[in-house]
Chain A
Amino acid sequence: EIVLTQSPATLSLSPGERATLSCRASQSVSSYLAWYQQKPGQAPRLLIYDASNRATGIPARFSGSGSGTDFTLTISSLEPEDFAVYYCQQRGSWPVSFGQGTKLEIK
């Protein structure tokens, strides 16, 4: 089973700042990695799929990069609504797996 390790566990930033979230896979998942945003009491929301493709309706300030084992989600300029928990998910190998999450909190 592929283990996804997200860092940092918590990221404290202010609105307007740039956020960089990391996801590392225990073995290569090619480009088969997605990112989700989850707010309290809500279902996850797809942001990025196949490492770098924005999902429908996702603002351009969200971008993804990486391949193989190292991936990054970047939020170029944080808006108040961006403070949430972010998960990465791989589909490169069964079983599907998720990272443990990064909590993005307001500083």
Chain B
Amino acid sequence: QVQLVQSGAEVKKPGASVKVSCKASGYTFTGYYIHWVRQAPGHGLEWMGWISPSSGGTYYAQKFQGRVTMTRDTSISTAYMELSALRSDDTAVYYCARVGRYYDSSGQFDFWGQGTLVTVSS
């Protein structure tokens, strides 16, 4: 069965960086784009960008350009999202999500990771 398992919660100081991992199993990792979405406490969902596990190509929301880097390691079927220059308003649960259409960057998100809470506090 398809699973996305994310790394554990993180506490960071303002100005630091955080790297969250998303390990995929149960399907061909390179066939489906991975997106990252975050949710601040008590708020809605905010899209951050995607990575093609096949090519490594990326596309980021303008809001995060310059601060976010998405990478992948196909040998271990894992995608990563690194966010730098953290601020208190980056405190959120970060989700990875798989697009439910083969080799398509755009689509509905049919499987989600369990979420990783990143807390930014001095």
Q: Give me the interface of A with B, judged by CB distance under 8 Å.
A: 32, 34, 36, 43-46, 49-50, 55-56, 87, 89, 91, 94-101
Contact = CB atoms under 8 A, between A and B. Distances in A.
A91 B106 contact: yes
Nearest to A101: B44
B103 to A, nearest CB: 15
B109 A46 contact: yes
Contacts of B95: 43-44
B35 interface: yes
Interface in B81-122: 95, 97, 100, 106-110, 112-115
A87 B44 contact: yes
A46 B45 contact: no
A100 B59 contact: no
Contacts of A101: 44-45
| Residue with the highest number of chain B CB atoms closer than 10 Å, among A43, A45, A55, A99 | A43
Given A87-B45, A94-B106, A98-B37, 4 more contacts: A43-B97, A43-B112, A95-B62, A96-B106
Contacts of B35: 96
A55 B44 contact: no
B108 A46 contact: yes
Nearest 3 A-B pairs (CB), nearest first?
A49-B108, A43-B112, A34-B108
B44 A98 contact: yes
A107 B113 CA distance: 31
A2 B108 CA distance: 16
Given A43-B95, A46-B100, A96 B110 contact: no
B110 A55 contact: yes
B9 to A, nearest CB: 13
B44 A95 contact: no
B119 to A, nearest CB: 16
A44 B106 contact: no
A1 to B, nearest CB: 8
A54 to B, nearest CB: 11
26 contacts: A34-B108, A36-B45, A36-B109, A43-B97, A43-B112, A43-B113, A43-B115, A44-B97, A44-B109, A46-B108, A46-B110, A55-B100, A55-B108, A55-B110, A56-B110, A87-B44, A87-B45, A89-B45, A91-B107, A91-B108, A94-B106, A96-B35, A96-B47, A98-B47, A99-B44, A101-B44
